Structure 1
Amino acid sequence: MDILSIIGIILAFVAIIGGNHLEGGHVSALLNAPAALIVIGGTLGAAFIQTPLTVFKRALAILRWIVFPPSSRLREGISQIINWSTIARKEGLLGLEALADVESDPYARKGLQLLVDGSEPEALRSILEVELMTRENHDLMAAKVYESMGGYSPTIGIIGAVMGLIHVMGNLADPSMLGSGIAVAFVATIYGVALANLFLIPVAHKLKAVAMQQSRYREMLLEGLMSIAEGENPRSIEMKLEGFLD
């Protein structure tokens, strides 16, 4: 669990609401259903138009990474690769077949299977690099969905503000209608800017960082599998892969 993300989300919204309270404002003044509908609905609508369905589904799937990011397991991965290397030197590459059958990581399993099948190192690198780049690109595109929504949200908030002011101007003769129109105008702007800067843009950057960590782990696996294919000794492989550690 990523405690820092949870603290950040809570702190951001508590700071805004708490600051409003200290200035003498009321929480109820920040609650406005029409403004929320305009900002959230307009932002989602713009994102739907821009984003292919498969990318949007992936964006929803990886949102949990904000609190529950997948483990990169770099150090554990190095130990695992050294174990594979040791087995390969003792029993040959066919000795890795049993490990490939029980490997839970699809990327590592494919690499082990390629080793067992006797693939040349160049073919091994080519196949695994394609999958690495494809996965990285897919995750980064999903993260950019939130980044794009963070760009639309403030603009939609301004649209809501203009709509509220139009409502006000159209009811100048009826003072009882002025308050609700002005409230929508200002609250819509707050919703748009706050949603972008307190949630959507930070979420996008966090997801990009997690996606790059996953790619780094796969790069480490790729280099380890290549070293095994080229017959390097376990100690040399370990020294090489330690360069991936922070």
Structure 2
Amino acid sequence: MMDFATPVGIGVALVAILVSMIMDGGNPAALIAPSSMLLVLGGTFGVSLAGYRLKDISMIVGAMKSAILAKVASPDESIKEMVKYAEIARKEGVLALEAATKSIQDPFLKKGIQLAVDGVDSERIRELLEGEIDSMKARHKAGAKFFKDMGGFAPTVGILGTIMGLIHVLGNLSSPNSLGPAISGAFTATLWGVLTANVFWLPIENKLHRVSDIEVRTRYLIVDGILAIQAGASPRLLEQQLLTYLAPKERAVVEAARESSKKKAA
């Protein structure tokens, strides 16, 4: 399921900023400064991209999508799936899982089940799947670092815009009536730099780290589940083993759902 915490959180922060500004008698329209916004947004993106390759743009776009509309991995759903495969393997043998691989959408899980079906040694399976996890962690780290860089550069680019604005002000001291608006416009760049860093880029970085942590944990859960199935573990024992990946409250929800389904089946 999609998680909308990031756009909701950013929206709440922006509303709080605008409302507080209005309460102090300010005009939110004063924040709309196209030149400052162009400098901060464009300049920040440019200097951040300078440390990457052009091929990395697709990775950056994917990271943004993951943060805004992330389909967060669900460990409890993975546990249910692994228990289902354990029941098939217990009744019909591990080879019976080959038919189940055709309907598996997750490439990681599909690869692991196929390796088990092919009779690959358990240590080799762990090595291959953990290699996949390490590769995924590296990709996630690179995506999150881009937004960390943007969060670091944005305030500095904003200060650059303010300095440019003040230079313009000092060059027009002969027009006292225009000094106020000119100085106000100059500091708008700093405001946009600090605002975008702390309301957009750094929260997105934090979200990417959180999503990555959940996905990595789910991947390790799948590895343990596949190896347990290959070793012939009972579905009940497998479930108890994999539940250790969940927090106590999450375990209680899974166990309650299982008991409820048993009652309905009876």
Q: How does the TM-score come out when normalised to structure 1?
A: 0.94
Q: Which residue of 2 aligns with 1:212?
A: 213
CA drift of 1:2 comes to 2.8
Q: Between the two proteins, what is the percent identity of the paired residues?
A: 37
Across the aligned residues of Structure 1 and Structure 2, the Cα RMSD in angstroms comes to 1.6
Q: d(CA) in 2 for partners of 1:74 and 1:18?
A: 39
Deviations 1:6-46 (A, max 9, x none): 33112111111111111111122211111111111110111
Q: Distance between the aligned counterparts of 1:33 and 1:7, measured in 2?
A: 25
Aligned to 1:47: 48
Deviation at 1:71? Answer: 3.4
Contact 2:109 2:222 in 1 (8 A): yes
Q: Is the 8 A contact 1:81 1:225 kept in 2?
A: yes
Structure 1: runs of 5 or more not aligned: none
Whole-angstrom distance in 1 between the partners of 2:230 and 2:192: 55
Structure 1 partner of 2:103 = 102
Tell me, in whole angstroms, the C-alpha distance in 1 between the residues paired with 2:99 and 2:72: 24
Give per-residue Cα distances to partners, 1:163-206, cap 9 Å, x unaligned.
11111111112335534531332100100000000111011101
AA aligned opposite 1:204: E
Letter in 2 for 1:214: E
Contact 1:153-1:193 within 8 A present in 2 as well: yes
- Checking the alignment, whether the CA contact within 8 Å between 1:56 and 1:145 is kept in structure 2 is no
Question: Secondary structure, in 3 states, of the residue corresponding to 1:104?
Answer: coil
Query: Which amino acid is the alignment partner of residue 119 of structure 2?
Result: G
Equivalent position amino acid for 2:175 in 1 = D
CA contact (8 A) 1:39 1:191 kept: yes
CA distance in 1, matches of 2:53, 2:212: 19
2:39 aligned residue: 38
CA contact (8 A) 2:4 2:69 kept: no
Contact 1:56–1:142 (CA<8 Å) still a contact in 2? Answer: no
Deviation at residue 158 of structure 1 after TM alignment: 0.5
Contact 2:6-2:203 at 8 Å conserved across structures: no
Residue deviations 1:196-235 (CA, integer Å, cap 9, x gap): 0011101110111011111111110011011112222222
What stretches of structure 2 of length at least 5 have no aligned partner? 248-266
Query: What amino acid does structure 1 have at the position aligned with 2:198?
Result: N
SS in 2 for 1:8: helix
Structure 2 residue identity aligned to 1:53: L
Note the C-alpha offset of 1:94.
Answer: 1.2
Q: Which amino acid aligns with 1:146?
A: F
* Structure 2 counterpart of 1:134, one-letter code: S
CA contact (8 A) 2:3 2:71 kept: no
Matched residue of 1:50: which SS?
Answer: coil
SS in 2 for 1:202: helix
Letter in 2 for 1:92: G
8 Å contact kept, 2:3–2:72: no
Q: Does 1:10 align with 2:11?
A: yes
Specify the alignment match of 1:85 in structure 2.
86
How many pairs does the alignment contain?
Answer: 246
